[in-house]
Structure 1
């Protein structure tokens, strides 16, 4: 059966660039791939035709032979029959094509030059006081990281010298190993992915192209950050390898314990000790806040653990801009170190309260009733 012209199969002109050929194949492969059309023999055949065309036209030598001799110059039929479903053309099997094209889509693929590595991300734990976290601040930090060697400008070679192309991988940074019908790529063991070999290394970085360095950075902490929040400093991580971009620095917030306040998201909590007399008779209390002082009115007969809410005295949320509240929990303090006279007065008060019956101690009376119900 007469085969269809490869250029026509991919829908490109005969003078199409390599990029146009790859783009056309990518479009057809995504459209006709068997995984997207399970059980459809027609699309499966179209996928195989497109793949075969790409295998030839993406290789400069095979493309030249095809342009001169047509299909007779690049007949993949014998290799296709032996490969059991993996179509190859002069050693370029389906696994290679899949890695080249779909790797571009999903982030992998075959390296066509020295491997470039992005620098590692760094993490720094920044401990802040509650006041600084709530109001915002600017902090200078010192971060150890790998940076580009200034002596050799990251080349790794001694001044006046240069690196040479790795003979093992031919400068690609990867070597290909044929295992049966599968072609496996791995990092070149000679140059470790750099694609080049340094014979006379830089005395400062010893050929690594990077050196350990401690840098000082200024971190602007926005108002309202909370425990565990992260501030990203783009490009302030470790330097990349082989000219790769640097990583990022993530500053993670840690809050120091506060002597008065406990933070729960955007709300603040504090405990206010109140004298027995104030709890009984009522009064006005001065309350500390992060913005100064405020006051609350304690009604007569206030019980311990009662919460008083001060609206808008909490933390302003770093994202929404809404401000939380301050909750003051009353803690009635029992008098200690009493004199004989004070004890006598308390006994008189207790006796007077007992005479008043349950109206002075309703909670105690209710509790006693429950005990009677349990024990009879």
Structure 2
């Protein structure tokens, strides 16, 4: 079971953005690879703190996490608000938060940054797409195949060691001050910290050795997503130049297509059912649209307009796997707007008939009671 993000950072849900940032910086410094060389447990805590901060520092992600927990970012295909972050992601995104605590470098994690600020492992830019989903697809989960135009490294591109930084990815500057000689390091401006520059490239590649390619990406979208939610497909963004680079991510924004008859409210669905006077008086059976096909319901004779019928479990599944919402059928008795002479005469005769005089029972709830029940 995944550990709570607030617990990881040692804060509560009411923490301000500044408190969240301060708590993360404290954890990041405590478990930084430079302070804990070779300590796998510290490395894991360092990654967990970064994952927690990535979500809680983003107002949209934080709101979704507060509502749905880890399920808001779970799903097949590499989705997540964090969870898939590696050291390169962390230093690339959040290095400025704690970098000054380590002499301005990017830390000493092997395989990417090097002790005292070595090569930066470049990460490509993210791509963003919007995927439209019907209520039926949202209710059942779906796999979508989308065509994405990505920047990828061209075949035949070769690299050589950057002559400016000699492959270190960093340039060092020594300044004489009244306090003595001070040494500072910064990413190499020639290679952007990668330690490599292009040695040769094919004619169809751009200055960075990249070409545009179309790729079909399969996206598995879990049931219960909501409009505006963003999912992440790791590694399906643009490539970055350099032999030691990693691709960016594909950010998938969910857009819910409005259903013709069903209206969504969280995990519940609403359906307006219109019936005639005769159907209300005599009772009837009706076919109702659901996200899994039609179901037939029976209306008892004498049913009143405003009656709400609840079909348990016929709504949208919960992202937290807590079951599904309900389908609320709102019964509306349709009043005819035009009547012929014979029909008018019939209703005129019924004006004083005891069977047509309203006699609400205690069990017949008022409009305000029904609204209260809906929100309780």
Same fold at TM > 0.5: yes
Structure 1 runs of 4+ off > 6 angstroms? 355-358
Matching residue of 1:247: 248
Structure 2 counterparts to residues 14-29 of structure 1, below 5 A: 26=35
Question: C-alpha displacement at 1:205, in angstroms?
Answer: 2.0
Matching residue of 1:119: 124
Question: C-alpha displacement at 1:198, in angstroms?
Answer: 4.3
Give distance in 1, aligned partners of 2:183 and 2:256: 53
- Structure with larger Rg: 1
- Residue 174 (structure 2) pairs with residue 178 (structure 1): yes
Give distance in 1, aligned partners of 2:34 and 2:156: 45
Change (3 A) 1:316 1:198: closer
Give distance in 2, aligned partners of 1:146 and 1:225: 29
1:104 to 85, 108, 112: 108
Give distance in 2, aligned partners of 1:25 and 1:356: 84
Which runs of 5 or more residues in structure 2 are unaligned? 1-31, 38-98, 367-376
| Counterpart secondary structure, 1:134 | helix
Change (3 A) 1:122 1:259: same
TM-score (norm 1): 0.59
| Counterpart secondary structure, 1:143 | strand
1:139 to 137, 144, 154: 144
Change (3 A) 1:182 1:344: farther
CA displacement 1:202-254 (0-9 Å, x = unmatched) = 42223403222221112233444443444432221221332212222232322
- Residue 339 (structure 2) pairs with residue 338 (structure 1): yes
Matching residue of 1:287: 288
Equivalences, count: 266
Question: C-alpha displacement at 1:319, in angstroms?
Answer: 4.1
CA displacement 1:161-198 (0-9 Å, x = unmatched) = xx4541x3333233223343543333333343343454
Structure 2 counterparts to residues 352-371 of structure 1, below 5 A: 352=353, 359=359
Structure 2 counterparts to residues 1-376 of structure 1, below 5 A: 26=35, 98-99=102-103, 103-104=107-108, 110-113=116-119, 115-152=120-157, 155=158, 163=160, 165-166=162-163, 168-179=164-175, 180=177, 181-198=181-198, 202-242=202-242, 243-320=244-321, 322-352=323-353, 359=359
Matching residue of 1:371: none
Give distance in 1, aligned partners of 2:291 and 2:103: 59
CA displacement 1:63-91 (0-9 Å, x = unmatched) = xxxxxxxxxxxxxxxxxxxxxxxxxxxxx
Which runs of 5 or more residues in structure 1 are unaligned? 1-22, 29-94, 157-162, 367-376
Residues 116, 241 of structure 1: 8 Å contact kept: no
Change (3 A) 1:294 1:235: same
Give distance in 1, aligned partners of 2:101 and 2:344: 94
Residues 147, 216 of structure 2: 8 Å contact kept: yes
Give distance in 2, aligned partners of 1:25 and 1:131: 50
Structure 1, 317-326 or 247-256: larger mean CA deviation: 317-326
